[in-house]
Amino acid sequence: MDERQVPVVLVHGLRASRTMWRAQVEALTATGRTALAVDLPGHGHRLDETFTLDGAVDAVAAGVEAVGGRAVVVGLSLGGYTAIAHAARHPQQVAGLVAAACCTVPRAAVVRAWGLAADGFFARLPDRGAAINQALVDRVLPPQAAADVAAGGFALDVVGDTMRAMRDATPLADLARVAAPVWLVNGRWDHFRGDERRFLAACRDGHLVVVPHATHLVSLVQPVRFTRVLLDVLDDVDAREASAVRFGEPPGTHATDDARLVRHDDHVVAEPVERGRRDAS
How far apart CA 22 and CA 226 sit, in angstroms, is 13
pLDDT band at 124; cut points 50, 70, 90? low
How far apart CA 40 and CA 28 sit, in angstroms, is 21
pLDDT band at 111; cut points 50, 70, 90? low
- Torsion angle of the four alpha carbons 143, 184, 160, 129, in this order, in degrees rounded to the nearest 10: -10
The pTM score is: 0.85
> Which residues have CB under 8 Å from 271's CB, separation 6+?
224
**Structural domains of the chain sorted by starting position, each given as residue range(s) with its CATH number in brackets:** 8-280 (3.40.50.1820)
- Torsion angle of the four alpha carbons 254, 260, 265, 267, in this order, in degrees rounded to the nearest 10: -60
Q: Per-residue pLDDT for 243 more than 80?
A: yes
Q: What is the pLDDT of residue 280?
A: 33
How far apart CA 148 and CA 25 sit, in angstroms, is 12
Cβ atoms of 35 and 63 closer than 8 Å: no
Q: Per-residue pLDDT for 31 more than 70?
A: yes
